[in-house]
């Protein structure tokens, strides 16, 4: 078991999401930074989609009761093991009674902690992901609290070969690539230019459902009503006041606002590391270029998988 001594601001169980049920109105959920989640699982020898702990803004402290192997990825954080520096982006064996703490964040917003063999958690519709608004999945459908216990598989295996280059999130201005959304052509030429040339800021209205942005107003040629239609992880909607919102892990299944853009699949995980006050510049690319960027990301994960060996 691991014993939660301090839960931090928000710590939940997440995997790659509750997929295949959106036609029934079921939210996907899953990790805000699915790339960091997959890296954490690869580093401990798990399947890429195994459930992990998603820790928002640090502060988590837990104690182990058995031997286990963990990996911490995501934001750069002052992590400690029994008061000494805990290396991130590598597999680390723990002994019974060890105490792990995630302290101050140096950059980024969220960390992911994977345990070799995975965690025992509520499986709902083929996923362990926590959806807080519906109290679904994860640890009794809620964020972790002091005193909670989580069962993990006991492992004494140590990595004999590994390699991982941590992403660098030390920035307050992000460049995000997108492809044109279904309603892109409905926006005025001035609005299209503003969207791709001006800076937008992440407002305090930012959570797992979506990030509300603030910047130059965006307008359509005609402010007609739209039928609700499907939305995706990274869909950017523009509300009636002209400000965009980026839909994220706990997004709704459909939306009725104009979709000006779609963040490409290989960039959407970056929103999981953004904080209120950060700035964003949007860059439009072609669909072919978005496929190439995703291929490169997938190849990086494959190479990392080949570089991990346990005794």
Rounded mean pLDDT of 138-159? 88
**Residue 160, pLDDT above cutoff 90:** no
- Which of 142, 162, 182 is the endpoint of a domain? 162
- CATH code of the domain containing 215: 2.40.100.10
**Residue 122, pLDDT above cutoff 90:** no
Domain shared by 238 and 260, yes or no: yes
Tell me which residue of 307, 310, 46, 36 sits closest to 163, measured CA to CA.
307
**Residue 260, pLDDT above cutoff 70:** yes
Domain shared by 193 and 79, yes or no: no
In-domain check, residue 296: no
**How does pLDDT run across 217-229, given as a tens digit for each residue?**
999 999 888 889 9
Q: Compute φ and ψ for 68, nearest 5 degrees.
A: -155, 170
CB 248 within 8 A of CB 210: yes
Domain shared by 138 and 31, yes or no: yes
What's the CA gap between 42 and 77, in Å, rounded?
20
In-domain check, residue 241: yes
Domain shared by 125 and 204, yes or no: no
**Residue 7, pLDDT above cutoff 90:** yes
Q: Among 12-16, 72-76, 167-171, 281-285, where is mean pLDDT lowest?
A: 167-171
**Residue 294, pLDDT above cutoff 80:** yes
Domain shared by 177 and 112, yes or no: no
**How does pLDDT run across 187-205, given as a tens digit for each residue?**
999 999 999 999 999 999 9
Q: Higher model confidence: residue 271 or residue 226?
A: 271
**Residue 165, pLDDT above cutoff 70:** no
In-domain check, residue 305: no
Domain containing 63 equals 2-162
Mean pLDDT, the chain, rounded, equals 93
Alpha-carbon 141 to chain mean position:
18
Query: Tokens at residue 193, please?
Result: 């230019």
Domain shared by 123 and 16, yes or no: yes
Rounded mean pLDDT of 113-140? 93
pTM for the model stands at 0.94
In-domain check, residue 295: no
Burial class (CB in 10 A: 0-12, 13-18, 19+), 140: middle
Q: What percent of the chain is modeled with pLDDT above 70?
A: 95
**How does pLDDT run across 23-58, given as a tens digit for each residue?**
999 999 999 999 999 999 999 999 999 999 999 999
What's the CA gap between 286 and 261, in Å, rounded?
12
Domain shared by 33 and 134, yes or no: yes
Alpha-carbon 173 to chain mean position:
18
**How does pLDDT run across 66-98, given as a tens digit for each residue?**
999 999 999 999 999 999 999 999 999 999 999
In-domain check, residue 46: yes
Count up the domains in the chain and report the number.
2
**Residue 168, pLDDT above cutoff 70:** no
Domain shared by 152 and 198, yes or no: no
In-domain check, residue 302: no
In-domain check, residue 146: yes
Domain shared by 220 and 157, yes or no: no
- Residue whose tokens read 């990825």: 73
SS3 of residue 267 by DSSP: coil
Radius of gyration of the chain (CA): 20
Domain shared by 30 and 131, yes or no: yes
In-domain check, residue 68: yes
Domain shared by 154 and 10, yes or no: yes
Q: Which pLDDT band, with edges at 50, 70 and 90, does 286 fall under? A: very high
Domain shared by 129 and 235, yes or no: no
């Amino acid at each position: 078991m691991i014993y939660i001594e301090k839960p931090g601001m928000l710590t939940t169980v997440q995997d790659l999401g509750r997929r295949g049920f959106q036609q029934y109105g079921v939210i996907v959920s899953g990790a805000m930074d699915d790339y960091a989640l997959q890296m954490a699982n690869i580093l401990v020898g798990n399947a890429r989609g195994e459930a992990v702990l998603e820790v928002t803004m640090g502060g988590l402290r837990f104690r182990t009761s058995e031997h286990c192997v963990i990996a911490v990825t995501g934001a750069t954080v002052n992590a400690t093991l029994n008061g000494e520096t805990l290396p991130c982006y590598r597999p680390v064996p723990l002994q019974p009674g060890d105490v792990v703490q995630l302290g101050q964040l140096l950059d980024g917003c969220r960390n992911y902690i994977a345990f070799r063999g995975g965690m025992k958690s509520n499986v709902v519709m083929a996923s362990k992901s926590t959806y807080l608004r519906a109290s679904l999945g994860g640890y009794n459908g809620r964020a972790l609290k002091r005193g909670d216990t989580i069962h993990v598989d006991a492992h004494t295996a140590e990595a004999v070969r590994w390699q991982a280059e941590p992403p660098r999130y030390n920035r307050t201005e992000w460049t995000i690539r997108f492809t044109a959304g279904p309603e892109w052509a409905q926006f005025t030429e001035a609005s299209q230019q503003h969207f791709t040339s001006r800076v937008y800021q992440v407002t305090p209205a930012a959570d797992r459902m979506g990030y509300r942005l603030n910047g130059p107003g965006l307008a359509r040629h005609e402010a007609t009503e739209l039928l609700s239609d499907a939305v995706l992880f990274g869909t950017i909607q523009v509300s009636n006041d002209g400000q965009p919102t980026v839909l994220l892990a706990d997004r709704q299944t459909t939306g009725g606002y104009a979709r000006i853009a779609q963040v490409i699949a290989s960039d959407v995980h970056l929103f999981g590391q953004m904080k209120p006050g950060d700035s964003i510049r949007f860059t439009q690319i072609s669909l072919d270029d978005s496929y190439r960027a995703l291929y490169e990301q997938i190849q990086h994960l494959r190479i990392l998988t080949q570089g991990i060996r346990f005794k």
